[in-house]
Amino acid sequence: MGSGLSLHVPEPEVRPGGAPDFSGVKIARAGTVRRPPVDVDPSEIRDLAFSIIRVLNRNGEAVGEWAGTLTDEETLAGLKTMMRVRAFDRRMLMAQRQGKTSFYMQCLGEEAIACAFRKALEPGDMNFPTYRQQGLLIADDYPLVDMMCQIYSNRRDPLKGRQLPIMYSSKSHGFFSISGNLATQFVQGVGWAMASAIKGGKDIAAAWIGDGSTAESDFHAGMVFASTYKAPVVLNIVNNQWAISTFQGIAKGGSGTFAARGLGFGIPSLRVDGNDYLAVHAAAKWAVERARRNLGPTLIEWVTYRAAAHSTSDDPSAYRPKEETDAWPLGDPVKRLKNHLILRGAWSEERHVQAEAEIDAEILAAQKEAESHGTLHTGPKPSVRDMFEGVYEEMPPHLRRQRQEAGV
């Protein structure tokens, strides 16, 4: 019979101190993955769950069937949005280190996903995001000062101190309240999409989840309902390789790719270069059109890399090589789009440097205005009265008594 059983525990390719190794990331040449019709039968595109849709090649050229969804002007606007997100993250990270807020999470290296995806949506569509999709708001021109006031939990906090820093919410900008409980947004997004279909509306939903959270039961419940009821929803898995300190192989299991999870549910599944702004927009537009034409859900795995720490409470040097970020084979989304626009003659290094300075000044001005309303340890806070309001349509007697006792 041989030796006894042994438990298989997946291990990352390399540990701190070792040489980064991404040889297991199979990358198709840009432009080689076909673009199927929007109404394609899911059984005919199963292979797309195992490849990677890419538009920008190594030279910065946009190639293949997925290219051409944006003009140069729209692409330049996308570049500036990503630069704005990155500058925003940089200032807020610094503010946390200065004690002005208790917590922050960057999306460094992942900016293209949220920024490009937002441009494929219409007013009325609703995102159910995780905590690294701030680009959805910034790409939709949500006020930077309001975002900062929420992070500082000051007197102008739109959420009146009821949410942790970076857990934004804006119905008018199609951004459902972020939940600190992982994977809850996924099944809620499917439910919202089902409700839109029941009402005969035209609005679709986009549900978001990280690679690690696909191990949660809510992910699978959302997939079942989306598949069964053909909900008008785009199901986004942001595979940034790390679930805090746990590498993506733990949650992925033996499925090969996260996109392949959709195949068993009969959901068309794509795998996309998440650091390629043009590829993200093209794939998002395809999936959004499919949902709006009542053809059902699409699952998309965005292949990217979390270049920064998981949060301000994390030290990635404890579990991955410091050089790993630079070794990531899909590069930096901002640099790649910048090089493409320069190649097109629509941008230059000089204009890029100037734009960086202008954006930094814009973010700094917004920060100064936000801090004039208070920070974590300075200035006025939301009123105690706020915690009694916005919960019940008619305040019950026991809360009225408590408010009176508090003198507010």
Q: In 279-292, which positions are buried (b, 16+ CB within 10 angstroms) versus exposed (e)?
A: bbbbbbbbbbebbb
User: What Rg do the C-alpha atoms of the chain give, in angstroms?
Assistant: 22
Q: Say if residues 223 and 267 touch (Cβ distance below 8 Å).
A: yes
Count the residues in the chain. Answer: 408
The model's pLDDT over 286-329, given as tens digits with 9 standing for 90+, comes to: 999 999 999 999 999 999 999 999 999 999 999 999 999 999 99
Tokens (6 digits) for 120: 């494929």
pLDDT at 379: 86
pLDDT of residue 383: 83
Q: Which of 298, 336, 71 is nearest to 204 (CA)?
A: 298
Angle, helices 333-344/72-97, rounded to nearest 10 degrees: 150
Judged by DSSP in three states, 303 sits in strand
Q: What are the start-end ranges of the H helices in 211-348?
A: 217-229, 249-252, 277-292, 324-327, 333-344
Q: What is the pLDDT of residue 127?
A: 98
Q: What are the DSSP calls for 346-406, one per residue?
A: S--HHHHHHHHHHHHHHHHHHHHHHHTT--SSSS----GGGGGSSS-SS--HHHHHHHHHH
HSE value, Cβ hemisphere, 13 Å, CA-based, for 353: 3
Q: Which domains does the chain have, with CATH numbers?
A: 42-377 (3.40.50.970), 384-408 (no CATH)
Q: What pLDDT, on a 0 to 100 scale, did the predictor assign at position 90?
A: 98
Q: Which segments in the chain show pLDDT lower than 50?
A: none
Report helix, strand or coil for 230.
Answer: coil
pLDDT for the residue numbered 1: 62
| Phi, psi angles (nearest 5°) of residue 2 | 80, -165
Residues 6+ apart with CB under 8 A from 42: 263, 266, 267, 268, 269
**What are the two backbone dihedrals, phi and then psi, of residue 299, each rounded to the nearest 5 degrees?**
-100, 130
Q: Which amino acid is at 401?
A: R
Q: What residues are labeled active site?
A: 306, 310, 319
Instruction: Tally Cβ neighbours within 10 Å of residue 312.
Output: 18
For residue 118, the SS3 value is helix
Query: What is the model's pLDDT at position 25?
Result: 87
> What 3-state DSSP class applies to 196?
helix
